[in-house]
Amino acid sequence: EAFPGLIRQTHRKIRSAAADGAYDTRLCHDELRRKKISALIPPRKGAGYWPGEYADRNRAVANQRLTGSNARWKWTTDYNRRSIAETAMYR
């Protein structure tokens, strides 16, 4: 996957990174944790809990199971900023 390689190349302080559900992998989450970057990545549909240091992701999975979708999680985490930034890049 390209995402971890891109994160490794950064030299500036990044507080959070948003990506779509395709990046909901341990490889991506581990690289973000290693660089102390908060992950804004929605869990994939039907995602399971991960043991260990994945508390934020596991909360998102719990929210998905309670509400039936990621909509509430996206709203409470300001995940929609990813879409706004993505739109701005294509203009």
Residue in this structure with the two tokens 């994939």, named with its chain if needed: 44
- The per-residue pLDDT of the chain, averaged, comes to 87
State residue 47's pLDDT score. Answer: 95
Give pTM, 2 decimals: 0.81
Point out which residues pair with 45 in neighbouring strands.
Answer: none
Of 37-41, 76-80, 84-88, the poorest mean pLDDT is in: 84-88
pLDDT-based confidence at residue 29 (cuts at 50, 70, 90): very high
For residue range 41-84, what is the model confidence (pLDDT) as tens digits? 999 999 999 999 999 899 999 999 999 998 888 888 888 776 66
Q: Residue 37 in contact with residue 4, Cβ under 8 Å?
A: no
| Measured CA distances, 60 to 2, 9, 11 (Å) | 24, 27, 28
